[in-house]
Amino acid sequence: MTTMIMENEERTEKYNEDALRYSEYYKGKIQTMSKVPVRSLDDFSIWYTPGVAAVSRKIATDHDLSFELTGRWNTIAILTDGTRVLGLGNIGPEAAMPVMEGKALIFNYLGGVNAIPVPIRVSSREEFVSVAKSLEPSFGGINLEDIESPKCFFLLETLQKEMNIPVWHDDQLGTASITLAGIINSIRIVGKKIEEVKVVFNGAGAANIAAAYLFKAAGFKKENIILVDSKGVLQPERQDMDSLMLNNPWKYQLAIETNGERVKGDLKEALKGADILISAAKSGPDTVDAKLVKEMNNDPIVFVLANPIPEMWPEEAKENGAKIVATGRSDFPNQINNSLVFPGVFRGVLDARAKGVNFDVMVAASYEIANFVEEPTAEKIVPTMEEWELYPRLASAVATKTVELGLARKIDSKEGFYKRARDIIENNRNIYRKMMDLGLIRMMPNGERKY
C-alpha cells in the first residue's frame, strides 16, 4: 500500500511539473477563431458593416432569433468566483482561470460546446446574481463552477428561477448525475429495488446534498436516505437545526425529510443495515474505516469519491464485503467522473435552445448514461470518457426531455437531436485532428509524456 501511495504521489508531481511548463509554452488552453470564410476584405461588408445591421434589426424584433443568427446557440459561460477551486479552496478568480480553461477544453472536445471562462470578482452572492443575469444576452447557458457551499445552493436556485437559459452547477448536478447513473447499474447488478434500498451519504457538501435531492426525484424513498456530516447523522433533533435553518436551508430540509427511522449518532450507526454508502468527504484512506462495510446489508455498494485519495482503498472495501466499489479515480474500475455528464447535457440543452434544466432532466440523463452500459458488471457500472458515442446519445436524451417538459425553444425527434449532436461533436473532433496533423496545434515541446 505504501508503494502505491508513493507511485501516485510521484505521478501527480510529474503532472504538476508538466502543467506549469506547458502552460507557459501555450499561454492558455483555448482561443477564439473565425468560423466564416474571408476571401477578401469585401467579405467584411457581410460579416460586419453594413450587412450586419440587417441581422441586428432582425434580432431586435425577436430576441430568440439570437440563437439562430449568432453563435449564442452554442456558447456558454463558465462562471466562478474562485471560492472553492478543486481541492485548493478560496484562491480567487485569477487563480481559478487555469481550471476554467481546462473545463472549457473538455466542453469543446467532448461536447462541441464553445465554453468561455468567466472568473469574476464579487463581494456578495447578490452581486454574483447580478453579474450572471447581466451576461444572459451573450450566452445559451451558464455553468457555475467551484463556488463555496452553501452559497452555491443559493446561486443555483436563484439563477434557475430568474434566468431564461439553463443554469447548471457542475459540482452539484454533474456529480449527482453520474453518481445516480452508477448506483442505477449497481442496484441492477445486486438485484435490489430503488424503492427499497437504504442509502447513506457520508459528507453533506454540494455534491451529496444535490445527490440526495436527485435520488428523491429518481424514486428513492426519502425515509431510506441518511446523510452524515462532521457532526454526525442529520436528524431533526440536532442542536444545530436553528443554525441550519438560517444558514443552509437546503441541508436543513434534508434533516427534516430524510432518515425516517430517526437514527442518531455517527456513520457506524447510519450504516447498520444500509445497502449503499456514497462518501464525498475528506480525502484520505482512513477517512472511513473499511471495517464499517461489515455493518451494511448483504451485497453492499460502496462509492468512495474523495480525490486524490478515496476515503478507503477499494481493496479494503472488498475485503470487508463490498460487492461493488467506485471511486473518483481513473486508475481503479468504476470512475465516477462528472466529465461523463456535463458535455452531453449542455450539448442537449443547447441543441433544444432550452430555457432551463431541472431534476427531471437530470434523472433522464442518469438513466441514459446507465443504459449505455448494456451489460453492467461489478467492474463496469459506468462508461469511460473514451466511449465518445455516449455524448451524442446523452445530448439526445436531454434535449428530448426538455421538449417533453416544455422547456425547449426548438422541437425535434430524439433521432433528429441525436444526429445533430453527433454531427457537431464529430465535426469538432475532426477539426482538432486536422489542426494537429497540420501542426496548427503545436505538439508539446518535449514530446508526449506517458505515466
Domain harbouring 94, CATH code: 3.40.50.10380
CA angle 157, 158, 163 (to 5 degrees): 110
Same domain, 158 and 101: yes
Residue 198 within any structural domain of the chain: yes
Domain holding 316: CATH number?
3.40.50.720
Helix ranges, 112-234 (H)? 125-135, 151-162, 175-190, 206-217
Residue 342 within any structural domain of the chain: yes
Grid cell, residue 413, equals: 425527434
Same domain, 152 and 178: no
Same domain, 231 and 151: no
pLDDT tens, position by position, for the chain (451 residues)? 555 555 656 777 888 888 888 898 899 998 888 899 999 999 999 999 999 999 999 999 999 999 999 999 999 999 999 999 987 889 999 999 999 999 999 999 999 999 999 999 999 999 999 999 999 999 999 999 999 999 999 999 999 999 999 999 999 999 999 999 999 999 999 999 999 999 999 999 999 999 999 999 999 999 999 999 999 999 999 999 999 999 999 999 999 999 999 999 999 999 999 999 999 998 888 899 999 999 999 999 999 999 888 999 999 999 999 999 999 998 899 999 999 999 999 999 999 999 999 999 999 999 999 999 999 999 999 999 999 999 999 999 999 999 999 999 999 999 999 999 999 999 999 999 999 999 999 888 765 554 4
- Residue 451: active-site member: no
Residue 407 contacts by C-beta under 8 Å, 6 or more apart in sequence? Answer: 352, 354, 355, 356, 357, 358, 361
Instruction: Among 125, 148, 165, give the residue marking a domain's end.
Output: 165
Residue range of the domain that includes 114: 49-165
Exactly one of 103, 251, 323, 410 is catalytic; which is it?
A: 103
Residue 378 within any structural domain of the chain: yes
Residue 12 within any structural domain of the chain: no
The pTM assigned to this predicted structure is 0.92
Same domain, 148 and 230: no
Q: What is the DSSP secondary structure assignment for residue 205, as one 8-state letter?
A: S
Structural domains in the chain (count): 2
Residue 131 within any structural domain of the chain: yes
Same domain, 216 and 309: yes
Same domain, 189 and 129: no
CA angle 217, 399, 118 (to 5 degrees): 90
CB crowding 325-353: b at 16 or more within 10 Å, else e: bbbbbeebbbbbbbbbbbbbbbbbbbbbb
Same domain, 346 and 449: yes
Grid cell, residue 377, equals: 458488471
φ/ψ of residue 127, rounded to 5 = -70, -35
Residue 37 within any structural domain of the chain: no
Same domain, 267 and 287: yes
Element (H, E) at 351: helix 342-351
Q: Which amino acid does the sequence have at 341?
A: V
Same domain, 193 and 160: no
Instruction: Among 126, 141, 165, give the residue marking a domain's end.
Output: 165
Q: State the pLDDT at residue 9.
A: 65
Same domain, 154 and 188: no
Same domain, 301 and 348: yes
- Residue 25: active-site member: no
Residue 5 within any structural domain of the chain: no
Instruction: Among 112, 132, 165, give the residue marking a domain's end.
Output: 165
Same domain, 61 and 132: yes
Exactly one of 15, 25, 48, 451 is catalytic; which is it?
A: 48
Element (H, E) at 304: strand 301-304
Question: Minimal CA–CA distance to 303: which of 384, 185, 214?
Answer: 185
Residue 32 within any structural domain of the chain: no
